[in-house]
Structures are given as C-alpha cells and as structure tokens.
Amino acid sequence: MVFNIEQTQRDDLIARVDASLSAIAFHCRGARTSASRTKAEEIERRAFSAADVSSSTTSGDRPLIEVMRLYVKKAAELVAEAVEQGGDEDSAEQSVDAEMDDDEFDVAKTSKDREFYTQARAEEVLAPLLRKGATFSKVRLSTKSFGIDAAKVAARAFGNLAETLKEVDLSDTIAGRPEVEALKAMEIFSEGLMAAKLTSVDLSDNAFGEKGVRACTKLLQNQKDLTSIAFLNNGISEQAARAILELLACPEKLTRFHLDKNMTGNDGTVHIAAIVAKAKGMKDFKMAGSRFFSEGAIMLAEALAVGNSLERLDLNDNNVNEEASEPAFLEP
C-alpha cells in the first residue's frame, strides 16, 4: 500500500465532514448531534482504507491524484449514507442490532457500501462474533474486502464460534486486494474455520482460480460434514476443478453444488463429474455458463444418473447440442 498523505489533510477532511453532518442534523432535526465527530472519524478511516487498498495494482502504483480523488469520492458516498440513515450513529447501530439475531450474522447489514476492512474496522464490526458466549450458527462476510490483518480478526471470530458455527459465506471477500494478500486472507479464513463443523460454505465471486482453491486447502480437507458448497464466478479452470476433487474431504455428502459462471470446459468437467458421481444424494446442482460442450454435458448426465435424489438442475448457457441435451439421467 502506498497512499500516504499528511495527517493535517486527514484531519481537515474529518473537520469538514463533522461540520456537514452537524449542520444537516441541525437543519433537519432542529438539534446538533454529539455523534457527528465520531461518525466523521469513521468515515475518514473507511475512505482512507479504500483508497489505500486501491493505490496498488498488478501493474504498479496508481498516481497520487487518482487515489486522492478516490479517497474524496468514497468519503462523499459515506457521508450520503450517513445522512440517509439519519446521521445518528447510535440509532444506526441500534438498527443494525435489531436486524441481527442470535443465530445469523451478516456484515452487509452493518453498511451498504463495499468496505476495505482494516484490523480496527474488522474488530469493530465483528465484535458480536468475538464476544464470550456468542452462539451464531450462520456468518456472512460477503461484499466486504478483507486484507491479512482483517482476516485474522475473522479467524478469531470463527474460532470463538467453533461449537455453534455451521454455515459460512465467504463470497466476494477479497475483491480489490493484490493477489498475494488475497490468497493469504483465504488461507487465514480456512485456518480459522478448522475447529468448526460446517455444513455449508460459499466461496463464490472471489475469482481466485486454482491458487485460491489451494489457499482453501485446510478448509476443504478438514470439513467432513459439508453438504453444500459454491464456487460461482471463481475462475474454476480445469486445474482448479482438479484441485477441488483432490482436496474435498467428503464429496459423497454433498447435496448442493454450485459452480456457475466459470471457465471449466470439458477437461475440467471431467473432475466435476467425478465429484458428482460420488454424491449420490445430490439434490441441487448448478453449472451454468461454464464453457463445456456436449461431451461435458454427457459426463455430467452420467454422473448425476448414479443417484436418484436430484431436484434442481441448471446447465444453461453452455455449448450443448440436442443429442447431449437429452435427459439421460432421467431414463429408467
């Protein structure tokens, strides 16, 4: 990360946001709010974090002026969100708490924007998961971007929930991160989940390919009660599909398997079909838009024919002719 500006500039933005929120509160509600300064500091931190993450690309560092514009734009978006919520931090937090329950935690309910979590922000948002006695069985971290430090906080939260956690949604959790950092974050997530006994994992929309699948090695090898797993839009190539087959501990227990919008092709479908053939209780299988042809469709049909539990099937948007589209798996 290379975004570096003077603290006086950051303080200036905080002061301006504080003044704006306070003025809006006065004109809309007839009273100034004591929470405006705290909210302004939070907005600045989040805007700075987003700019900092975006300052580096695979081809080098972005120009400072470009990153500065992103910093200001992000701050403006967060101010608009705060105004929409009423500008009252306390009421916003109460609203989030009201939407959460003791069984399911969803970070998307804490803010509408895509956040690039720092360690401090992750500790703040994931505090309910870190509390002694927390009993959540479902956790969704989707749409927030976790770096290494933030992923370590999530891993601690997973460890704290080891006795009750059953379903985890890690879809779209490393967007915008450099590859090395993104893969390390997935490794940390996987290590943090080792003590839990999961039944469902969603790893979609991370576009991580074979490297990402292997970054999840500890998760895939240690979770032996998984009945549902998803890899939508994850760059699942032939090599990545082979890795899933190699690493998945108990494919025979799967009842739901989703792999839409990938580049698996016929060669990769060989490995997916091998997984499906083991999952005789498969009820819900999706592999739409995965670039396989008639040969791949026939392999999947034969694999699905091994079981008799299928309820939902989606193989749309693949290059399959009429011969291969005949429902061989439905024949007696």
At 182, is the pLDDT very low, low, confident or very high (cuts 50, 70, 90)?
A: very high
Query: Model confidence over 38-54: pLDDT tens digits?
Result: 889 989 988 998 888 88
User: Containing H/E element for 229?
Assistant: strand 228-230
Same domain, yes or no: 82 and 96: no
pLDDT at 82 over 90: no
Q: Domain boundary residue among 68, 88, 108?
A: 88
CA distances from 145 to 58, 129, 200, 202, 228 (A): 17, 18, 21, 15, 23
CA distances from 172 to 58, 132, 179, 236 (A): 19, 28, 14, 15
Largest CA distance in the chain: 75
Q: What is the pLDDT of residue 320?
A: 87
User: Containing H/E element for 145?
Assistant: strand 145-146
Same domain, yes or no: 76 and 215: no
Q: How far apart are CA 140 and CA 157, in angstroms?
A: 12
Question: Is there a domain that residue 1 lies in?
Answer: no
Same domain, yes or no: 76 and 108: no
Same domain, yes or no: 313 and 226: yes
Q: What is the CATH number of the domain that holds 43?
A: 1.10.246
How many CB atoms neighbour CB 57 within 10 A? 10
Same domain, yes or no: 226 and 301: yes
Question: Is there a domain that residue 2 lies in?
Answer: no
Q: What percent of the chain has pLDDT over 70?
A: 89
Q: How far apart are CA 232 and CA 202, in angstroms?
A: 9
Write out the two tokens for 12. 């200036």
Domain count, the chain: 2
Q: Domain boundary residue among 88, 105, 122?
A: 88
Q: Could you give the residue ranges of the DSSP H alpha helices within the chain?
A: 7-29, 36-54, 64-84, 89-99, 119-125, 127-130, 148-160, 179-192, 209-215, 217-222, 238-247, 265-278, 294-304, 322-325
Same domain, yes or no: 53 and 193: no
Same domain, yes or no: 71 and 104: no
Q: How far apart are CA 100 and CA 117, in angstroms?
A: 20
Q: How far apart are CA 207 and CA 204, in angstroms?
A: 8
Question: Is there a domain that residue 172 lies in?
Answer: yes
Query: Model confidence over 188-229: pLDDT tens digits?
Result: 999 999 999 999 999 999 999 999 999 999 999 999 999 999
Find out whether 47 and 75 touch, Cβ atoms under 8 Å.
yes
Question: Is there a domain that residue 282 lies in?
Answer: yes
Q: Domain boundary residue among 35, 67, 88?
A: 88
Q: Domain of 308?
A: 91-330
Q: What is the CATH number of the domain that holds 143?
A: 3.80.10.10
Q: What is the pLDDT of residue 330?
A: 45
Question: Is there a domain that residue 280 lies in?
Answer: yes
- Which of 71-80, 163-172, 317-326 holds the top average pLDDT? 163-172
Closest CA to 1 of 186, 192, 145, 216: 145
Same domain, yes or no: 236 and 134: yes
